[in-house]
Structure 1
């Protein structure tokens, strides 16, 4: 499986690679990106940032690069991609975000630093940084990478 993680120039994207040790990860960002290619990961540029056409830019990139799954980390990418998830799905690309109608519940109002993060695919937790299992009241439809602290609820892991 080939996974695209946006915000590839950020340390959070590098931390997220631990969740996918058996997949090829493409770390991409807007503007200048280091040209590094290894057996398990690579860096790539998404071109110039144009917030008005984020979904189009990312869909085109995913099709060109044969991406199977996209994990957006930039806050401004979340809602456009959640709303476009069905279109991405028609091309066989999974958008790892909650559904557009509930995504607002998982957005942090202010910038928060989380001690841990967990990855959910269709409600199943596939990874957490501290090895703990999250509560069982997670929806079976939940997708995404979520930051959490000891007492806080799940919020999308963004930069």
Structure 2
């Protein structure tokens, strides 16, 4: 599977690499990005940032690069991508975000540096950096969520 993680110029995006050891990860960001490529991951530019057409930029990038799943890390990408997830699904691209109507539950209004993060795909936790075991959540729960302790409410792990 080929996974796109945006926000490549941030430490948070780099942390996510350890969640996908058996997949190829393409780390991308707007503007200049380091030109690094290995067998397991690579960096690539998304071009010039245009917040008005985020979903279009990312869909075109995903199709061009044969991406299977996308994890939008920038806060400004979250809402447009959640609203466009049905369109991405039509192209066989899975957007790892909560559904548009559930998104508000997972957005934090305050900046928080989480100690841990967990990756959920279709309600199943596929990785938890704190090694916790999370039981299956709602079927639609998708995304990367930050938390400090296992009892915390999940919030999107964004930049």
TM-score bracket relative to the smaller structure: over 0.9
Are 1:128 and 2:128 matched, yes or no? Answer: yes
TM-score (norm 2): 0.97
State the Cα distance separating 1:149 from its structure 2 match.
Answer: 1.2
List, as ranges, runs of 4+ consecutive aligned residues in structure 1 with deviation greater than 6 Å: none
Contact in 1 for aligned 2:124/2:136 (Cα 8 Å): no
Q: Distance in 2 between matches of 1:140 and 1:58?
A: 25
- Count, aligned residues: 158
What's the Cα RMSD here?
0.9
Question: d(CA) in 1 for partners of 2:114 and 2:72?
Answer: 17
Unpaired runs of 5+ residues, structure 2, are none
Report the Cα offset of residue 152 of structure 1.
Answer: 2.4
SS of 1:56 mapped into structure 2? helix
Matches within 5 A, 1:71-110: 71-110=71-110
Q: Distance in 1 between matches of 2:3 and 2:43?
A: 12
Residue in structure 2 matched with residue 141 of structure 1 by the alignment: 140
Deviations 1:96-150 (A, max 9, x none): 000000101100111111010000000000000011023x472121000000112
